[in-house]
A and B are shown apart, each in its own frame.
Chain A
Amino acid sequence: MQTTTATKGAISIRNVTKIYDPEGVNVMAVDDCSLEIAPGEVCMIVGPSGCGKTTLLNAIAGFHSITSGEIYLDGELLCGPNKPLADQGADRMVVFQNGALFPWKSLLDNIAYGPIVQGIMDKKEANDKATEMLAEAGLGDVAQKFPGEVSSGMARRAEIVRALINDPKVLLLDEPYRAMDALTKSIMHESLLEVYDRTKVTIFFITHDLEEAIFLGDRVIVMTTRPAKTKKIVEVPIERPRDYTLLSSENFRLLVAETKGAVHEEAIKAFEAGERELA
């Protein structure tokens, strides 16, 4: 593990269980899951579809309540027995699977939105900062366009900029690159790594793609099928900055081999359980 320079964004998930009750049939999505994430760590959650990994992310973000257990952020309680639903906030920014840039605002307005509504910056400041950050991300030319007018790769990058302008402690990504082709994905990966190297924000990233997880992460957590429990934790002690040449290195292949078995086992179980994708 490399030495992190980050000091904020430590997440502590303790004995979290989530049971929800659609149509009177109890469904246990998460079963007694515990996880400690260090500040500035890139934590990748891998598991078959529908296993409950999104539920964990939703609990941290404050979209869903938890049934029992506690989640702390930097020592402060996010949710627990007396407060099952965490508040939503800009300290934990989410990037969504299908993209959630407001289609009716230009990219610039989307990004400037956060600081303006939080009252941190006024309109001019926010616009300037947003323009600057967009240019840094290589999106300077399309700042005035609407999300429907740019490619999905650009839109996803813009969404990450929208998250980052709020200086979050944690970046929560819910299979953000799932709907992309492999080529665009690899560009997205490099872009994310570059962003991480600059900001050292804690990243909680959900994916079903093992290679993606090992390439980007410091730690890979393999989850079981529903109900989700931690099955295996694999450290990824590869130095940063990383680039695509890593993908064909010996180190990488070994790590994949180590983890693949576990993931595959769970994939088979999930398939047999005939889970309808929660996505």
Chain B
Amino acid sequence: MNPNTVIKPELTAKRLTSPSGLGLLVYKFKKIFGSSGIYLQVFGIGLWLFTYYILCEGLKLFPFFKIPGPVEVITEFFSPDPIWGMSLYTEAFHENVYVSCRRVAIAFCIATGVGVPLGLFMGWSKTFQDYTFPILETLRPIPILAWVPLAIVMFSGFETPVIFLATLASLFVTTLNTLLGVESIDDAYFRAAGCLGSKPRHVFWHVVVPGAMPFIFTGLQISIGVAWFSLVAAEMISGDYGLGYMIMDSYMLNKYVSMVMAMISLGFVGWLTSAMVRFAGDRMMQWRVRALALEGR
């Protein structure tokens, strides 16, 4: 063998160990900042903010000048004594955020607590599904907002109708996705469980529930979005507190800055709750996360 082609042992040894500690940090840093990706993303956000500012505050073009620009909104948000009455420091703002979040939390919990077992049971027993699915499918096309008058008539007060509407919306989504989740489970798993001597309750807890999880969590992410959507609608039409109400109220009183503040807050909370669901899902489905990682996603 040509002596020049001998590979030096030290070189191979170095390449075989993966970077760790400081080395890993430097590697990750390089990856993020070395490529154009992150700069463009920051640029994109910057561009958008800039356009928003220029149109609404800078040049005051028609009709953009009617909408408060980013600078106005941000200064207001952080000021201890806001002109229009709502900011990070005012209690009223926090109350609105809290009320909306609480309503969504209640709606989501009820919808999940009822919808997941319902969907699981529908997937598990064809008889049960035959009786309940038609009712579900008949009620589902009715948009949630069409239920508003009915909700107001049936339930007394403000809280209950609003929570009812958000719960209903979430319920449809959760139940349907759970059902689809159970139906998506490959027959082979049921057969394998059968071979292994499982009783029906084992099949339910060890095959049906874990097997449907991916779909259930997708459904939950959609359902939280839907819950927010319905909640805001309900609050705007008939609420007395909450972010939806804050938007409507600020609009009525021409307090446009508060209105935009509420919109942005809504966006933020919506994103946060969705991320929380996603996070919970990943924790519960480690098996899936790892398998997907191996596939390179």
Chain A binder among B42-50, B54-62, B197-205:
B197-205
- Please tell me if A117 contacts chain B, counting CB pairs below 8 Å: yes
- Please tell me if A114 contacts chain B, counting CB pairs below 8 Å: yes
* Contact flags A55-72 to B (C-beta < 8 A → 1, else 0): 000000111000000000
Q: Given the complex of chains A and B, what is the CA–CA distance between A90 and B197 in angstroms?
A: 5
Q: Are A148 and B195 in contact (CB under 8 A)?
A: no
Cβ of A73 to closest chain B Cβ, rounded Å? 14
- Please tell me if B150 contacts chain A, counting CB pairs below 8 Å: no
Chain B binder among A42-50, A100-108, A192-200:
A100-108
A61-B191, A61-B195, A94-B192 given; A117·B287 CB < 8 A: no
A-B pair number, CB within 8 angstroms: 77
Q: Are B191 and A96 in contact (CB under 8 A)?
A: yes
A113-B206, A148-B288 given; A100·B199 CB < 8 A: no
Closest chain B residue, CB of each to CB of A102: B189
Q: Are B291 and A103 in contact (CB under 8 A)?
A: yes
Q: Are B192 and A104 in contact (CB under 8 A)?
A: no
Closest chain B residue, CB of each to CB of A119: B197
Chain A binder among B27-35, B91-99, B207-215, B256-264:
B207-215
Closest chain B residue, CB of each to CB of A146: B287
B291 / chain A contacts, CB cutoff of 8 Å: 103, 146-149
| Interface of B (DSSP majority class) | helix
Closest chain A residue, CB of each to CB of B209: A104
Q: Are B191 and A104 in contact (CB under 8 A)?
A: no
A118 / chain B contacts, CB cutoff of 8 Å: 196-197
- Please tell me if A251 contacts chain B, counting CB pairs below 8 Å: no
Per the 8 Å Cβ criterion, residues 124-152 of A in contact with B are 146-149
Q: Are A100 and B196 in contact (CB under 8 A)?
A: no
Q: Are B198 and A103 in contact (CB under 8 A)?
A: no
- Please tell me if A98 contacts chain B, counting CB pairs below 8 Å: yes
- Please tell me if A88 contacts chain B, counting CB pairs below 8 Å: yes
Q: Given the complex of chains A and B, what is the CA–CA distance between A146 and B89 in angstroms?
A: 49
Other-chain residue from A88, A98, A149 in contact with B195 (beta carbon distance below 8 A): A88
Q: Are B287 and A148 in contact (CB under 8 A)?
A: yes
- Please tell me if B252 contacts chain A, counting CB pairs below 8 Å: no
Other-chain residue from A89, A101, A104 in contact with B211 (beta carbon distance below 8 A): A104
Other-chain residue from B202, B285, B292 in contact with A117 (beta carbon distance below 8 A): B202
Q: Given the complex of chains A and B, what is the CA–CA distance between A118 and B206 in angstroms?
A: 14
Q: Given the complex of chains A and B, what is the CA–CA distance between A88 and B196 in angstroms?
A: 8
Per the 8 Å Cβ criterion, residues 142-177 of A in contact with B are 146-149, 162-163, 166
Q: Are B196 and A63 in contact (CB under 8 A)?
A: no
Cβ of B43 to closest chain A Cβ, rounded Å? 38
Q: Are B192 and A100 in contact (CB under 8 A)?
A: yes
- Please tell me if B188 contacts chain A, counting CB pairs below 8 Å: yes
- Please tell me if A93 contacts chain B, counting CB pairs below 8 Å: yes
Q: Are A92 and B294 in contact (CB under 8 A)?
A: no
Q: Are B202 and A93 in contact (CB under 8 A)?
A: no
Q: Are A104 and B210 in contact (CB under 8 A)?
A: yes
Q: Are A100 and B197 in contact (CB under 8 A)?
A: no
- Please tell me if B80 contacts chain A, counting CB pairs below 8 Å: no
Q: Are B188 and A93 in contact (CB under 8 A)?
A: no
* Contact flags A77-112 to B (C-beta < 8 A → 1, else 0): 000000000001110111010101111110000000
B211 / chain A contacts, CB cutoff of 8 Å: 104
Q: Are A63 and B191 in contact (CB under 8 A)?
A: yes
- Please tell me if B130 contacts chain A, counting CB pairs below 8 Å: no
* Contact flags B270-281 to A (C-beta < 8 A → 1, else 0): 000000000000
Cβ of B125 to closest chain A Cβ, rounded Å? 19
A166 / chain B contacts, CB cutoff of 8 Å: 196-197
> B192, B199, B291: which has the most chain A beta carbons within 10 Å?
B192
B287 / chain A contacts, CB cutoff of 8 Å: 103-105, 146-148
A89-B197, A90-B197 given; A148·B188 CB < 8 A: no
B196 / chain A contacts, CB cutoff of 8 Å: 90, 93, 113-114, 117-118, 162, 166
Cβ of A20 to closest chain B Cβ, rounded Å? 15
Cβ of A116 to closest chain B Cβ, rounded Å? 9
Cβ of B233 to closest chain A Cβ, rounded Å? 37
Other-chain residue from B188, B202, B213 in contact with A104 (beta carbon distance below 8 A): B213
Cβ of A166 to closest chain B Cβ, rounded Å? 7
- Please tell me if B290 contacts chain A, counting CB pairs below 8 Å: yes
Q: Given the complex of chains A and B, what is the CA–CA distance between A105 and B108 in angstroms?
A: 28
Q: Pick 5 A–B contacts, CB within 8 A, sort by A.
A: A89-B197, A94-B192, A102-B207, A102-B210, A105-B210
Interface residues of B (CB under 8 A from A): 186, 188-189, 191-192, 194-199, 202, 206-207, 210-211, 213, 285-288, 290-292, 294
Beyond the given A94-B192, A94-B195, please list 7 additional residue pairs across the A-B interface where CB-CB is below 8 A.
A90-B196, A94-B191, A102-B192, A102-B207, A117-B202, A148-B287, A149-B291
